[in-house]
Structure 1
Amino acid sequence: MTLTLLSAALYAFSLLCLGSFAALFSIRWPAVNLYLAEKEAHELLSLNFIKTPPKNSVFGRSYCPHCHHTLGWKDTIPLFSYCYLKGQCRYCAKAISAYYWRIEILFLITGLPLLWLPLSLYELILNTVIISALLSAAIIDYQHRLIPNECSGLAIAAALALNIGTPNLDASILGVLLGYAIVALLRECYLYYRNREGIGLGDAKLLAALGAWTYMESLFSILLYASLLAIVYTALYYKTGGQNIPFGPFLVISGIAHFY
């Protein structure tokens, strides 16, 4: 793919848009799923459920969390609207969280190096989808200890589509199966010996996605470096012990680093 200044600028803006959506998704998806889980639990127990549903669905219009005014397109241009409005809502002048632009910058930094790889437009789009799905999963797991099936499933589908018609398709499929099996086996062993859950199946699906993307031979390296990162993080931030840490972000960091 021929790289021009215009195409690079358009791609960079696309990454910012993906980051903006991911930031919104990481806030709304947990809220919607928590509401649905509580509703289902009440229905199973035949209890009344009167909790008000979230204001907007995952794909609803953006609005100010302070004044609840629906935002127009001029208020939601990634990064630029935040700078132009000086970090304030146009309608109530309350501060806009820096969370949004930080996620947008994260997507920009992580995805922009794809432009310098020898990829076709088809490969660029699918790799962008994979990285975006993985980052979204990592953000939500870090905040809520949950990994959306939507993120893992999208990454797996994009990785398999990337290898359709190539000699790597078998390795990609085996990466899915082996990635899931490794974590599922570790989970069962820990559950058997310690009588408690040590790692969730969300991590199994995430490693399956990484296996589909980077193939089965890379899985043990990804798992090793993710474990080392988790150990360092635990030593630095969880000195009291006894607390569960999300493993998904370390898998994603290790997987993306391995890909590059």
Structure 2
Amino acid sequence: MSILFFLYGLIFGSFYNVVGLRVPNDESIVHPPSTCPTCKHRLTWKDLVPVFSYMFLGGKCRHCKTSIPIFYPLMELLTGILFVYAYLQEGFSGELIVALLYVSLFVIITVSDLVYMIIPDKVLIILGLMLLAGRIISPLDPWWESLAGAIIGFFLLWLIAIVSKGGMGGGDVKLFLLIGLVSGSKGVLMTLFIASFIGAFIGVISILLFHQDRKTPIPFGPFIAIGALIVYFHGNQLLESYLNLFF
């Protein structure tokens, strides 16, 4: 079953690359078919097998020999790994639906935020409705934790966006509403803390090693994704360890 979920993850990861790259540009995710961005040659199934086509082609287009960004197979591989991890953590349950949808959301917004620094509203709306349905099937205990988390996540990020005068994008605000819906009030606060810590750490490294200006914008979506998934799968253990350590 782990192998099956991994293969599903590779396939969906390839699709999520397309969604993350096309939706911010208001392009169809089904038409036109995939082509090489350099030579515009239409890609066949031999070019589109997740991860394996990249390996067999040596990371280059079959026709023009232009290098293919390693970003694409990495996101496919990451999705496969996360699908397997979700299955191993949740087993066959209603919560597995939520876990797979949650992973899917963060893969897509990571792609779009890294490439365009945009978290598309269409993705948030569609995945948000699906996650809401998932939370109805597999509610938190107590059920109102989802409502409380969504309210706290939205208004807290909205307040930060106002205070920072645009330092936090509207997509981040809406994304935290969904994080609260899935993880509850404690989960959304822990996600913000972890994401901010990772983002600050990467920001300092970028300044010291790459001499980036402090005002250079960096996509916050990937850091949110890391924090949210850590909290979703291991938030209770982290909180318990923290309380045991300091109290």
- Fold match (TM-score > 0.5): yes
Structure showing the higher helix proportion among its residues = 2
What is the distance in 2 between the residues matched to 1:201 and 1:227? Answer: 16
Residue 28 of structure 1 pairs with residue 33 of structure 2: no
Distance verdict in 2 for CA 1:15–1:258, change over 3 Å: same
**Secondary structure of residue in 1 paired with 2:90:** coil
Contact preservation (8 Å) 1:134, 1:152: no
Residue 252 of structure 1 pairs with residue 225 of structure 2: yes
Partner of 1:182: 156
Q: CA RMSD in A?
A: 2.2
> Could you tell me the TM-score, scaled by structure 1's length?
0.78
Matches within 5 A, 1:165-204: 165=137, 168=140, 169-190=143-164, 196-204=165-173
CA drift of 1:246 comes to 2.2
What is the distance in 2 between the residues matched to 1:84 and 1:121? Answer: 37
Aligned with residue 74 of structure 2, among 85, 93, 102? 102
CA drift of 1:122 comes to 4.4
Distance verdict in 2 for CA 1:12–1:29, change over 3 Å: same
CA drift of 1:117 comes to 1.7
Contact preservation (8 Å) 1:20, 1:100: yes
Distance verdict in 2 for CA 1:97–1:199, change over 3 Å: closer
Residue 214 of structure 1 pairs with residue 208 of structure 2: no
Residue segments in structure 1 that go unaligned for 5+ positions in a row:
1-6, 34-55, 191-195
> Could you tell me the TM-score, scaled by structure 2's length?
0.81
Max Rg structure: 1
Partner of 2:207: 238
Aligned with residue 10 of structure 1, among 4, 8, 26? 4
What is the distance in 2 between the residues matched to 1:200 and 1:101? Answer: 28
Contact preservation (8 Å) 1:130, 1:158: no
Residue segments in structure 2 that go unaligned for 5+ positions in a row:
234-247
Partner of 2:239: none
What is the distance in 2 between the residues matched to 1:93 and 1:76? Answer: 15
Identity of aligned residues (%): 28
Partner of 2:41: 69
Aligned with residue 144 of structure 1, among 108, 116, 121? 116
**Secondary structure of residue in 1 paired with 2:15:** helix
**Secondary structure of residue in 1 paired with 2:36:** coil
Distance verdict in 2 for CA 1:130–1:150, change over 3 Å: farther
Give CA-to-partner distance per residue, 1:134-177, whole Å, 9 cap, x none: 12112322332211113322342233222215552422233222
What is the distance in 2 between the residues matched to 1:242 and 1:88? Answer: 35
Equivalent residue letter for 1:28 = R
Instruction: Say how many residue pairs are matched.
Output: 226
